Chain A
Amino acid sequence: MIWSTLKLWFHKLGSPPIFSVFARRVAPWLWAAFFACTLYGVYLALYVAPPDYQQSDSARILYIHVPAAWQAMLAYVIMAVLAAIALIWRIRTAEIMAMAAAPIGAALTLICLVTGSLWGKPMWGTWWEWDARLTSMLVLLFIYVGIMALYAAYDDPRKGARVASVLVIAGLVNLPIIHFSVEWWTTLHQGQTIRIFGESKMDPSMIPPLIWTTLGTKFLFGAALLDRARNLLLAQDQHKAWVRRELAPALDDRKQPA
């Protein structure tokens, strides 16, 4: 029952017009959820959470640095699943969603790198060092940018998406390197604080802002993904009737020539 419903949804969303309507209706709610979670999370992070015993207020950078890093990596996993679907089943919506995920992942990686640098200067004493964690995260940014460039290099977007999808799958190896870099090698970056298995090394009073800003980045990714994927579909199908129907209100809102 649940399986067949999911399958039906999967097939329905595979249809560009239905996806477009879905994205148009759902994205604003995701943006609203992003805004609410992030605003509340940032309020907790800057006003309510206590300073750290070692790093004082500079530790507050954690509340955006860490969620951005997590979502940058989760975005890659989602993009890789979509790319695999695109390569195996040749579903156009999956292709487009995979390609739409790349710039968002790049943006999140950029947030992670820049805030990390701004945190490293006062605490470690350096903006940047070539340790395994920092370098592998920079490589993630380059992979994201490479995917975007490869996709843009082809005149035929469907072909471009398939070629870029191969790069997405190949780049997947970087994720375990990022994750385990602080355990496999000696690094300037400290080890993991939050663990899914085992004890987290963060005081409970510092957890709530992290949860809210983390939720915020999930909604940010979802909202931006729907917006961007819808745009790519509309652009690819701009000569088709469904796009003109879908955009009819926007197309009509200016005076037609008499």
Chain B
Amino acid sequence: MTRTRKRRMMIVLLILTGMSVATAVAITAMQSNVMFFVSPTNVAEQELAPDRKFRLGGLVADGTVVQSGDSLDVQFDVTDGNHNVTVVYTGILPDLFREGQGVIAHGYLRNGRFEAYEVLARHDETYMPPEVQRALEEAGHPAAGGESKPAYGADA
């Protein structure tokens, strides 16, 4: 390799390292801003200003969904296994919404309840036919249904 080519290669490597370092710094600095949602544990651990909008993510706790008969009002608990937050919402829920399903609610914390104006469903990265899922469920496999990854743990 000639000297000019070596020099050009050094420039290419320099651009690469420069960009990597700059990006790493930027990412570390913005770490919490890039988080799409926070877990109920995060909510319990830190005092959040009332009226501050944020997204709450977790699983719909079993047996907590209360739908009022003829209106679109719904109330349910979001859990990450350690803490629960009660969410109230008025509107149409996504098709995937059910107990044990991952959800992300966008709204405010007021008087200990999370008032959501938007509820999104989250699904896990597992894909299988319904028959396989039923078979796994009958066998008591923990991975069957809902979220299999502890994506909503306290560290999330």
Least distance between A251 CB and chain B CB atoms (Å): 39
Residues of A within 8 A of B95 (CB): 122-123, 125
Q: Which of B23, B118, B127, B130 contacts A177 (CB 8 A)?
A: B23
**Complex contact B9–A125 (CB within 8 A):** no
Q: What does the 1/0 interface line of B3-42 toward A look like (CB < 8 Å)?
A: 0010011011001100110010001000100111111000
Q: What does the 1/0 interface line of B137-150 toward A look like (CB < 8 Å)?
A: 00000000100110
Q: What does the 1/0 interface line of B53-77 toward A look like (CB < 8 Å)?
A: 0000100000000000000000000
Instruction: Count residues of chain A with CB under 8 A from any CB of chain B.
Output: 40
Residues of B within 8 A of A172 (CB): 16, 19
Residues of A within 8 A of B96 (CB): 54-55, 123-125
**Complex contact A169–B127 (CB within 8 A):** no
Does A246 have its Cβ within 8 Å of any Cβ on chain B?
A: no
Residues of A within 8 A of B129 (CB): 50-53, 203, 205-206
Least distance between A8 CB and chain B CB atoms (Å): 19
Least distance between B132 CB and chain A CB atoms (Å): 5
Interface residues of A in 153-186 (CB under 8 A from B): 166, 169-170, 172-173, 177, 184-186
Q: What does the 1/0 interface line of A33-64 toward B look like (CB < 8 Å)?
A: 00000000000000000111111000100100
Q: How far is the CA of A205 from the CA of B131 in the complex (A)?
A: 12
A187 with B20, Cβ < 8 A, contacts A52-B129, A192-B125 known: no
A-B contacts counted at CB < 8 A amount to: 123
Does A87 have its Cβ within 8 Å of any Cβ on chain B?
A: yes
**Complex contact A59–B122 (CB within 8 A):** no
Q: Which of A59, A124, A170 contacts B19 (CB 8 A)?
A: A170
Does B121 have its Cβ within 8 Å of any Cβ on chain A?
A: yes
Of A96-104, A126-134, A233-241, which binds chain B? A126-134
Least distance between B148 CB and chain A CB atoms (Å): 8
**Complex contact B36–A132 (CB within 8 A):** yes
A201 with B34, Cβ < 8 A, contacts A87-B11, A166-B15, A170-B15 known: no
Identify the closest chain B residue to A191 (Cβ): B125
**Complex contact A186–B128 (CB within 8 A):** no
User: Which of B12, B35, B37, B133 has the most chain A CB atoms inside 10 A of its CB?
Assistant: B12
Does A190 have its Cβ within 8 Å of any Cβ on chain B?
A: yes
Interface residues of A (CB under 8 A from B): 50-55, 59, 62, 84, 87-89, 122-126, 129, 131-132, 166, 169-170, 172-173, 177, 184-188, 190-193, 201-203, 205-206
Can you list 28 A-B pairs with a CB-CB distance of less than 8 A? Answer: A50-B129, A52-B127, A52-B128, A53-B130, A55-B123, A62-B127, A84-B12, A88-B8, A122-B94, A122-B95, A125-B119, A129-B120, A132-B34, A170-B19, A177-B23, A184-B27, A185-B35, A186-B156, A190-B124, A190-B125, A191-B124, A191-B125, A191-B149, A193-B126, A202-B127, A203-B129, A205-B132, A206-B129
